[in-house]
C-alpha cells in the first residue's frame, strides 16, 4: 500500500496561538481517514494546509508520493475538497455551479456534460439542475458541494465536517455516497464531530486536541484500548455503589448524577449491579468511539 497523504511535523500558528502543533500521520490509498477533535483542535487548519489553502509554517507534506511544493499544480488536479463553510455561488443554479467549477480543470465540454449528468444522478439532484442555490435546503447544498468536489474525478477527497447540521436522512444519504466512493477506491480525509460517523466510515483516525494528536488507530482498536468492550451507565447512583466501584478498583467516571463505568466484562458486572445495588436507571451498552473521545478530551465545554 502506498500513502496518499504523508504529513510530517506539520505546524501552524496565528500570532502567539499555535493552531497545529507538529503533527504527523499518513493516509494509505483507498482508506477513509478521520480527523476528530473538539472545536478549535486544529482540524480545519490541518486540512487547509493539506489542500494548499493555508500556507504551512513548517513541516513536510507529500501527496501521492510527491513533494507538494515541487508539484503543486499537478497534485491539485487529483484532489476534491468540501470545505467546512458552504462556498457555493448563491447567484447561480445547481447546474451552473458545477459547470463553472469544471472550467477550472480545462475539461472538454462533452466531458463536463457527462460528468455533470452523472454527478447529479449520484447525488440525487436530478430534476433540480435549474434551481437556484438560494432555494436549496442545507442537505441539498451539501450534496451539491460533494458533486462539485468530484467534478475533476479526484483520487483524494477532503471533507471538512460534511454532515454538520444535516437531518438524519441527509446524513445517512451522504454516508452511503461516501461508502460508494470508497468502494470505487477513492481515498478520503474527513473531519467530523459525529463519532458514529467516524466509527462507520473511517478505517483509521486521529483524535486531536489543542493542535496535537492524542491517539491514532482503527476505531475498534481505539475503543478496545481506551475504553473496553462495554459501558454501564447508572443514573442517580447510591453511595454503596460508589464504594463498591472504589473497592474493586473499577475504571469509571463519576459525573454526580450519573456514573459511567468502563468494563471489559460488562455483562457479569451489570448483573451484579442490578442484583445488589440498583433496580432502575442502570444501562449496559457497547463501548463507542464517543466514550474514547470524551475520555481523552474531557467533558468541559470548548469555545
Ligand X SMILES: Nc1ncnc2c1ncn2[C@@H]1O[C@H](COP(=O)(O)OP(=O)(O)O)[C@@H](O)[C@H]1O
Binding site for ligand X (CB under 6 A): 14, 17, 19, 37, 39-45
Contact 36, 62 (CB under 8 A): no
Is 44 an interacting residue with respect to Mg ion (CB under 5 A)?
A: yes
The entry of ligand X, Mg ion, none near residue 192 (CB within 5 to 8 angstroms by kind) is none
With CB cut-offs between 5 and 8 Å by kind, which of ligand X, Mg ion, none does residue 118 bind?
none
Bridge partners (DSSP) listed for residue 260: 233, 253
Q: Which of residues 14 and 72 has its CB atom nearest to ligand X in the complex?
A: 14
Instruction: Name the helix (H) or strand (E) containing 272.
Output: helix 266-276
- Taking the least distance from each CB to ligand X, the nearer of 21 and 96 is 21
CB 228 within 8 A of CB 249: no
Q: Which one of Mg ion, ligand X, none is in contact with 39 (Cβ closer than 5 to 8 A by kind)?
A: ligand X
Q: How far is the CB of 193 from ligand X (least distance, A)?
A: 9
Q: What is the C-alpha to C-alpha distance for residues 121 and 225, in angstroms, rounded to an integer? A: 42
Is the Cβ of residue 1 or residue 301 nearer to ligand X in the bound state?
A: 301
CB of 280 to ligand X, least distance (A): 39
Closest Cα to residue 273, out of 289, 261, 286, 255? 261
Inter-residue contact 235 to 241 (CB < 8 Å): no
- Judging by beta carbons within 10 Å of its beta carbon (0-12, 13-18, 19+), is residue 268 exposed, middle or buried? exposed
CB of 139 to Mg ion, least distance (A): 20
Q: Which is nearer to ligand X, 40 or 78 (CB)?
A: 40
Give min distance, CB of 235 to Mg ion, in A. 33
Closest separation in Å from C-beta 112 to Mg ion? 31
CA distance 116 to 151: 7
Q: Nearest to Mg ion by Cβ — which residue?
A: 44
**Which spans of this chain sit near Mg ion (rule: CB under 5 A)?**
43-44
Amino acid at each position: 500500500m502506498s500513502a496518499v497523504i504523508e504529513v510530517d511535523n506539520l505546524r501552524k500558528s496565528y500570532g502567539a496561538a499555535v493552531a497545529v502543533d507538529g503533527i504527523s500521520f499518513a493516509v494509505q490509498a483507498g482508506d477513509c481517514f478521520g480527523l476528530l477533535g473538539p472545536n478549535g483542535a486544529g482540524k480545519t487548519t490541518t486540512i487547509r494546509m493539506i489542500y494548499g489553502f493555508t500556507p504551512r509554517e513548517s513541516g513536510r507534506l507529500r501527496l501521492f508520493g510527491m513533494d507538494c511544493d515541487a508539484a503543486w499544480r499537478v497534485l491539485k488536479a487529483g484532489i476534491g475538497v468540501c470545505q467546512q463553510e458552504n462556498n457555493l455561488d448563491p447567484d447561480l443554479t445547481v447546474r451552473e455551479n458545477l459547470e463553472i467549477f469544471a472550467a477550472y480543470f480545462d475539461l472538454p465540454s462533452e466531458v463536463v456534460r457527462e460528468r455533470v449528468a452523472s454527478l447529479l444522478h449520484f447525488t440525487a439532484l436530478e430534476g433540480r439542475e435549474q434551481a437556484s442555490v438560494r432555494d436549496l435546503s442545507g442537505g441539498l447544498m451539501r450534496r451539491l458541494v460533494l458533486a462539485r468536489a468530484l467534478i475533476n474525478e479526484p483520487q483524494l477527497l477532503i471533507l471538512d465536517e460534511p454532515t454538520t447540521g444535516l437531518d438524519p436522512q441527509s446524513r445517512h444519504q451522504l454516508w452511503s455516497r461516501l461508502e460508494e466512493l470508497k468502494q470505487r477506491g477513492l481515498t478520503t480525509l474527513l473531519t467530523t464531530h459525529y463519532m458514529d460517523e467516524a466509527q462507520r466510515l473511517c478505517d483509521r483516525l486521529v483524535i486531536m486536541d489543542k493542535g496535537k494528536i492524542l491517539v491514532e488507530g482503527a476505531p475498534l482498536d481505539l475503543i478496545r484500548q481506551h475504553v473496553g468492550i462495554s459501558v454501564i451507565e447508572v443514573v442517580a447512583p447510591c453511595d454503596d455503589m460508589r464504594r463498591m466501584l472504589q473497592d474493586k478498583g473499577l475504571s469509571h467516571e463519576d459525573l454526580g448524577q450519573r456514573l459511567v463505568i468502563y468494563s471489559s466484562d460488562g455483562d457479569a458486572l451489570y448483573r451484579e449491579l442490578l442484583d445488589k445495588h440498583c433496580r432502575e436507571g442502570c444501562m449496559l451498552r457497547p463501548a463507542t468511539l464517543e466514550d474514547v473521545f470524551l475520555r481523552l478530551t474531557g467533558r468541559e465545554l470548548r469555545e
